[in-house]
Amino acid sequence: MPSAIICKDLVVQRGTNLILKDLSLTIESGQILGLLGPSGSGKTTLMRSIAGLQKIKSGEISVLGMKPGTAALREKIAYSTQTASVYSDLTCQENLRYFASLFSHNEKTVDEILEEVDLIAVRNQVAASLSGGELSRLALATTLVGSPEILILDEPTVGLDPVLRIQLWELFNKLAAQGKTMLVSSHVMAEAEYCHGLALMRSGRILAHGTSAELREQTGKEKMEEVFISLVKGP
Ligand SMILES: Nc1ncnc2c1ncn2[C@@H]1O[C@H](COP(=O)(O)OP(=O)(O)OP(=O)(O)O)[C@@H](O)[C@H]1O
Ligand SMILES: [Mg+2]
């Protein structure tokens, strides 16, 4: 199967700042790629670029063989921004019905999606009244509307306690097992364990790309924080 996402020599400038500097990255179909890196390293900028929302200075991006922003891609790629973008005065069900109305084709019903993210019990609660974990799952649910093949999730686990974080990662793995390709960013290095592949980012560049086992072997370090520091400092 061809790679789902290919970025080649990507250069992105925002304002006068050069944000992505000759960045190349490939994500295989059905894989979860964890995008890890410190604040300001360019994770959101890379995600916006892949989602077709960011002007590119040079380089190439191919998503399912198409250019980001192509009309045919619109229903195949879902992007959840860093701040949950749901309507706080609508219930879970109403939020999803609204998002579903924007698509010509929906693979699953609203209730099937609510079931999938375990929100059936609170489906009639307005988003403003949800707990942090429920709100994160509702944000995820909005990306499952339509029939996306690619999910881009910008720090979906931020602010969640470790138990809720693990639950959400289990859900991501379930979605990947259904064939969805996922790019998920995080600050939390420990979340690396739940990804098929990892891309460690720093200052607009990919420092390293591989499985957590490969990166451990490469650096001789056990903890992901230590792996990252070792890659930053060099041998
Ligand atoms: N409109 C803009 N004009 C100039 N610089 C910008 C603009 N938007 C973002 N930047 C800069 O681009 C850099 C990368 O930002 P980006 O949001 O991609 O980082 P990030 O890795 O997602 O960070 P975080 O983990 O904090 O979300 C930052 O230094 C930021 O200040
Ligand atoms: Mg960001």
Please state the atom number of ligand 1 nearest to the C-alpha of residue 42.
18
Average confidence (pLDDT) over 59-79: 93
DSSP H helices, the chain, are 43-51, 92-101, 110-116, 132-144, 162-177, 212-219, 224-233
Residue whose Cα lies nearest atom 1 of ligand 1: it is: 14
d(CA 201, CA 208): 7
Please state the atom number of ligand 1 nearest to the C-alpha of residue 48.
18
From the list 83, 84, 79, 114, the residue with the least C-alpha distance to 96 is 114
Average confidence (pLDDT) over 81-103: 91
From the list 186, 159, 161, 97, the residue with the least C-alpha distance to 172 is 186
Q: Which residues contact 16 (CB under 8 A, 6 or more apart)?
A: none
Q: Is pLDDT above 90 for 9?
A: yes
State if residue 39 touches ligand 1 by the CB under 6 angstroms criterion.
yes
Average confidence (pLDDT) over 14-31: 95
Residue 105 CA, ligand 2 centroid: distance in Å: 30
Residue whose Cα lies nearest atom 6 of ligand 1: it is: 14
Q: Which of 10, 17, 81 to mutate to test the pocket of ligand 1 (most atoms within 8 A of CB)?
A: 17
Average confidence (pLDDT) over 53-60: 96
Q: Are 151 and 143 a contacting pair, CB within 8 Å?
A: yes
Please state the atom number of ligand 1 nearest to the C-alpha of residue 37.
21
Residue 63 phi/psi, 5° resolution?
A: -120, 115
Q: Does domain 5-76+150-233 sit in CATH 3.40.50.300?
A: yes
Q: Which ligand has the minimum distance to the alpha carbon of residue 18?
A: 1
Domain ranges for the chain: 5-76+150-233, 86-148
Q: Is pLDDT above 90 for 163?
A: no
Average confidence (pLDDT) over 68-80: 90
State if residue 205 touches ligand 1 by the CB under 6 angstroms criterion.
no
Residue 48 CA, ligand 1 centroid: distance in Å: 11
- Using only C-alpha atoms, the chain has a radius of gyration, in whole angstroms, of 18
- Better pLDDT: 207 or 161: 207
Q: Which of 10, 20, 21, 41 to mutate to test the pocket of ligand 1 (most atoms within 8 A of CB)?
A: 41
Q: Is pLDDT above 90 for 27?
A: yes
Tell me the three state secondary structure of residue 199: strand
Please state the atom number of ligand 1 nearest to the C-alpha of residue 204.
14
Any idea what DSSP says for residue 112? H
Residue 42 CA, ligand 1 centroid: distance in Å: 6
d(CA 199, CA 192): 9
CA distances from residue 114 to 107, 142, 195 in whole angstroms, order as listed: 13, 10, 24
Nearest 10 degrees: Cα torsion 19, 24, 26, 31: -40
Q: For position 104, what pLDDT does the model report?
A: 82
Q: For position 59, what pLDDT does the model report?
A: 97
What are the tens digits of pLDDT across the range 166-182?
988 999 999 999 999 99
d(CA 5, CA 64): 6
Q: For position 190, what pLDDT does the model report?
A: 82
Q: Is pLDDT above 80 for 197?
A: yes
Q: For position 176, what pLDDT does the model report?
A: 94
Q: For position 188, what pLDDT does the model report?
A: 84
Residue 15 CA, ligand 1 centroid: distance in Å: 10
What are the tens digits of pLDDT across the range 127-154?
999 998 899 899 999 998 987 999 999 9
Please state the atom number of ligand 1 nearest to the C-alpha of residue 16.
4
DSSP H helices, 52-182, are 92-101, 110-116, 132-144, 162-177
Q: Is pLDDT above 70 for 235?
A: no
Q: Is pLDDT above 70 for 115?
A: yes
Mean pLDDT is lowest, of 58-67, 92-101, 138-147, for 138-147
Average confidence (pLDDT) over 93-117: 91
